[in-house]
């Protein structure tokens, strides 16, 4: 079993939809949780960064962490075609240095 | 603006050849990392460094080596390229512990 599980998709939604992306993990020592967005033929770029449990909002993006269930989510409101990309969850332990990545979910937003 | 650059962007090589992929960052970050990205596996850590003369093995380090002679560069060497090393390679840097990673745009390596 992988340490971090993420559905690869692809997930296809119409423009304006609310998107929910999720990851589950098995290591209870994870403390730092991140979402990276990766466009085709580009490197991943940091989208959201949270510590421990709770919610964090940034514009159309909301990250949620539920440590009791070992489950993290990224919500995208009013999705746009420019949101079409691969979304990678990542997490690390107390010292936050060596990240463990999910396999990534491909998102396609249709106009 | 500070950045992290990888070269070459694309490389085709033959089995058994030695290959070196370059990574250069102008963030002045101490921490640098090499990952490979393959379908179904996501990003897997190959090697990492916390500073000059420091190198450490990641989860998929067999067949790879790195050296850190200055803060800006962490070249990745494939000693004897194998077809299983066909992949996209990403370099990343990090300001310090608990900081996010900054990635380059990758090198697509094909071993024939």
Based on its alpha-carbon atoms, the radius of gyration of chain A, rounded to whole angstroms, reads 13
Residue pLDDT, tens place only, B45-103:
999 999 999 999 999 999 999 999 999 999 999 999 999 999 999 999 998 877 889 99
Cβ distance B42 to A104 less than 8 Å, yes or no, reads: yes
Query: What is the per-residue pLDDT for B96?
Result: 84
A40 — contact with chain B (CB < 8 Å)?
no
Residue in chain A nearest B42 by alpha carbon: A103
Rounded to a whole number, what is the distance in Å from the CA of A94 to chain B's nearest CA? Answer: 8
Cβ distance B42 to A96 less than 8 Å, yes or no, reads: no
Residue in chain A nearest B107 by alpha carbon: A41
Tokens 């002045």 belong to B28
Classify burial at A102, counting beta carbons within 10 Å of its beta carbon; exposed 0-12, middle 13-18, buried 19 or more: buried
Rounded to a whole number, what is the distance in Å from the CA of B43 to chain A's nearest CA? Answer: 6
Residue pLDDT, tens place only, A12-32:
999 999 999 999 999 999 999
pLDDT of chain A, 111 residues: tens digit per residue: 789 999 888 999 999 999 999 999 999 999 999 999 999 999 999 999 998 888 999 999 999 999 999 999 999 999 999 999 999 999 988 765 678 999 999 999 999
DSSP line for A53-69: SEEEEETTEEEEEETTT
- Does the pLDDT of residue B2 top 90, yes or no? no
Query: What is the per-residue pLDDT for A94?
Result: 74
For residue B93, what is the enclosing H or E element?
Answer: strand B87-94
Residue in chain B nearest A43 by alpha carbon: B105
Mutation test of the interface with chain B: which of A97, A102, A104, choosing the one with the most B Cβ atoms within 10 A? Answer: A97
Closest to B54 in 3D by CA, of B69, B75, B34, B72: B69
Give the C-alpha separation, A105 to A91, whole Å: 16
| pLDDT band (50, 70, 90) for residue B42 | confident
Cβ distance A8 to B40 less than 8 Å, yes or no, reads: yes
Name the E strands within A1-111.
4-5, 11-14, 19-25, 32-38, 45-51, 54-58, 61-66, 71-76, 85-92, 100-101, 105-110
């Amino acid at each position: 079993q992988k340490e971090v599980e993420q559905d690869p998709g692809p997930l296809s939604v119409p423009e304006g939809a609310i998107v929910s992306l999720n990851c589950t993990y098995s290591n209870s020592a994870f403390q730092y949780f991140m979402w990276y967005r990766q466009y085709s033929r580009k490197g991943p770029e940091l989208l959201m960064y949270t510590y421990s449990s709770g919610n964090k909002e940034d514009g159309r993006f909301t990250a949620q962490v539920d440590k009791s269930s070992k489950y993290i989510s990224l919500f995208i409101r009013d999705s746009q075609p420019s949101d079409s990309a691969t979304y990678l969850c990542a997490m690390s332990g107390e010292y936050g240095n060596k990240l463990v990545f999910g396999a990534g979910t491909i998102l396609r937003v249709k106009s | 603006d500070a950045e992290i650059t990888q070269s070459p962007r694309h490389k085709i090589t033959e089995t058994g050849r030695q290959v070196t992929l370059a990574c250069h960052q102008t963030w002045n970050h101490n921490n640098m990392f090499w990952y490979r990205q393959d379908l179904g596996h996501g990003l897997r850590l190959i090697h990492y460094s916390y500073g000059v003369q420091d190198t450490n093995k990641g989860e998929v380090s067999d067949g790879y080596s790195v050296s850190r002679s200055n803060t800006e560069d962490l070249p990745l060497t494939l000693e004897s390229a194998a077809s299983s090393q066909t992949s996209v390679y990403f370099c990343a840097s990090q300001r310090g512990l608990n900081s996010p990673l900054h990635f380059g745009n990758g090198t697509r390596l094909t071993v024939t």
